Amino acid sequence: MKKLFILLCIAAAFGAGWYGALKYGKNFTLSAPAHATQDPAAAREIYAQKAAAGDPQAAYQLGELYLSTQGGPADPQSAVAYFHLAAGKGFAPAQKELARFYKEGLAGLPANQAASLFWCMHAALQGDKECQTQVNETFTQTPLVYDQALSTFTASLQARIGHGPAALELGKAYEEGILSPDLEEAARWYTLAAERKIPQAQARLGLLYAEGRGVNKDEEKARALLAPAAEAGDPQAQLYWGKQAFTQSEQDGGPDYTEAFKWFMSAAAQGNLEAQYLTGVMYMQGLGTEKSVKKALQAFSRAAEAGQPDAQYVVGQSYYKGLGIRQNMKEARKWLGKAAENGNQAAKELLQQIPNP
């Protein structure tokens, strides 16, 4: 088992073409312009130009300068950004530096052992002895961290050779997973996966375009991505189209509650909590479907049990007022308390009106 990572590295080296050194066709040895020590400000400009052109070594060296006051004020945030740029292109020294930063919580990055190990695995793949030691020690001492990092690391290698599902997982890691949040990187990997017609990737990328996160806001691109994702059954995309139909402007014909209910029901059936809550709202008000307090409470209850705060508030309020259900102050306090703990302000206010037993 201790050789698992070594075996994976060997397989990845053949599969990915030893992605750093071979992809860029250069020997990654550190060098600097002859005048760098004499004129670090000029060196910053040279490195910035080369980094913008895609040179990972220049990006790394620019990051090192930004960590110091050479050539200008220190800027740890920019340093980290350039290290990520270089590391993403397979430059081992930058990968090792990021591993150190995440391990110790430096340069504004949160201490994150899984993220540290993720980058160390990349550097270890290229022969870095210290990172190989860190990988082996983590495997022995904290196997859960090892497993988490290994999963994302494997996805990273597969994504770099065009594996769609792996690109989706890597995008998720950048958006919400073990890696430092980087929506631009998330969008990049989602794009690769979306090009391979993976519905979840289409949906996630479409939502980034719809909300202008990590990419320039573009409703046309968002719709073009979210439409096939919804038809393919992605619940996030279906929730999006349900909301679009529910809030459609009068200029576009006004709300289409039947269409909204259709999408909410489909997403709710797949466990989307917000869709379950909105399905309950539509049943309760008879929008797009026959009014049914019973079915509404069933939908609210499913979402509440799974932790949806608005649904928890509605269930608590129903018990408090006896709406469609027998009045029960104990249950009211229970559900309003859960909603309040999850940040529902209305639940906090209503709780104050219920006397303690």
How do residues 308-357 score in pLDDT, each as one tens digit?
999 999 999 999 999 999 999 999 999 999 999 999 999 999 998 887 76
**Region label for 55, one of left (φ > 0), alpha (ψ between -120 and 50) or beta (otherwise):** beta
Residues of the chain below pLDDT 70: 1-38, 177-178, 180, 357
Distances (CA, A) of 266 to 121, 140, 188, 235, 258: 41, 45, 29, 7, 13
> How far, CA to CA in Å, does 247 sit from each of 253, 254, 334?
10, 8, 32
pLDDT reported for residue 200:
97
Residues 6 or more apart in contact with residue 287 via CB below 8 angstroms: 257, 260, 261, 281
The pLDDT score that the predictor gives to residue 35 is: 46
Q: Give the C-alpha separation, 267 to 280, whole Å.
A: 13
Distances from the Cα of 183 to the Cα of 190, 226, 264, angstroms: 10, 18, 27
What are the residue ranges spanned by the domains of the chain? 1-22+39-161, 233-298, 307-357
| pTM of the entire predicted model | 0.71
C-alpha to C-alpha distance for 319 and 162, rounded to whole angstroms: 53
CATH code of the domain occupying 1-22+39-161: 1.25.40.10
- Rounded to an integer, what distance in angstroms lies between the CA atom of residue 190 and that of residue 248? 28
Residues with Cβ within 8 Å of residue 206, at least 6 apart in sequence: 221, 222, 223, 224, 225, 226, 229, 237, 240
| Residue-wise pLDDT tens digits, 106-146 | 988 889 999 999 999 989 888 889 999 999 999 999 999 99
Separation CA 36–CA 44 (nearest Å)? 8
